[in-house]
Amino acid sequence: MTQMIVALDVDTIREEEELLERLKGTITFYKIGLQLFTAHGKRAVDLVHRAGNRVFLDLKFCDIPQTVANAVRETQKLGVEAVSLHLSGGADMLRAAAELRPRPKLWGVTVLTSMTAADLHALHPRAGVRSAVRNLARLGLSRGIDGIICSGNEVEPLRKALNLEKSSKQGIASLSHGPRFITPGIRPADNAVHDQKRVITPEKAAELGIDYIVIGRPITAAPDPLKAAQKILGDMKAAAPRAIEKSC
């Protein structure tokens, strides 16, 4: 079942309120990232919760184990459902975060969807994108991480590598348990890709039965965000009728 998370990448609380108001009833899961959280912190999170919505706090933690564990503990106090960290922070960092109880779901960033194979090569001359994603995903899952953030292009190869089964009923991969897949880099075919590089369409994400798509500018920068969100949800439903759930 593919659910949509809308990235609230805006400057002000006023803009956040406007988007929440416009998308009310259609979108119930939102991502608060570095920009909004740095500017407005808990207030930005509370605003989403107040309207009965869910929050993915995308702060992409990457630091020494104790620092990350302490930060994750703070996110629990905010009541968010999921928080992100970089899997490249290493085994000890991941374990320190995963061992906390209670804690939000931990979603691990593999290789940013804004990076190409050449970008990765400049950092790690021997690494390919798929092998890096695979190795990071394996590391994260072995240390208790709940979800893997990668490009939609990498989901199928990753499922194979991790030996995850497809649901026979729907003919799509939709797992009732096991790790969740979260994919940013979602672009409708007629949309600008902006700084994203490894992108797929919302329809493809639905066909693949990806658990959560994270989508920002195609909705938030559209002249009519509600219309844009509804169109994307409609296209996804048409592509994979039984694999869509608005965002609840």
For the bound state, the minimum distance from the C-beta of residue 6 to ligand C5P, rounded and expressed in Å, comes to: 9
Bridge-partner residues for 107, per DSSP? 84, 147
33 contacts ligand C5P (rule: CB under 6 A): yes
191 contacts ligand C5P (rule: CB under 6 A): no
16 contacts ligand C5P (rule: CB under 6 A): no
By rule CB under 6 A, what count of residues binds ligand C5P? Answer: 16
174 contacts ligand C5P (rule: CB under 6 A): no
DSSP secondary structure letters along 51-107: TT-EEEEEEEE-S-HHHHHHHHHHHHHHT-SEEEEEGGG-HHHHHHHHT-SS--EEE
Tell which one of 196, 207, 209, 240 touches ligand C5P (CB under 6 A): 196
Q: How far apart are alpha carbons 123 and 41 in whole angstroms?
A: 32
Residue sitting closest to ligand C5P (CB): 216
| Residue 60: active-site member | yes
Stretch that binds ligand C5P, among 21-29, 105-113, 159-167, 169-177 (CB under 6 A): 105-113
152 contacts ligand C5P (rule: CB under 6 A): no
Q: Mark 63-92 with x for binding to ligand C5P (rule: CB under 6 A) and - for no binding.
A: ------------------------------
Looking at beta carbons only, is 66 or 116 nearer to ligand C5P?
116
- 3-class SS at 72? helix
End-to-end CA distance of the chain: 11
Looking at beta carbons only, is 71 or 166 nearer to ligand C5P?
71
Tell which one of 7, 48, 205, 206 touches ligand C5P (CB under 6 A): 7
217 contacts ligand C5P (rule: CB under 6 A): yes
For the bound state, the minimum distance from the C-beta of residue 199 to ligand C5P, rounded and expressed in Å, comes to: 8
- DSSP designation for 89: G
Q: Which amino acid is at 59?
A: L
Bridge-partner residues for 83, per DSSP? 57, 106
DSSP secondary structure letters along 149-209: E--GGGHHHHHHHTTPPPPTTTSS---SSS-EEEE--B--TTS--TT--S-B-HHHHHHTT
Residues that bind ligand C5P (CB under 6 A): 7, 9, 33, 58, 109, 112-113, 149, 184-185, 194, 196, 214-217
Known catalytic residues are: 60
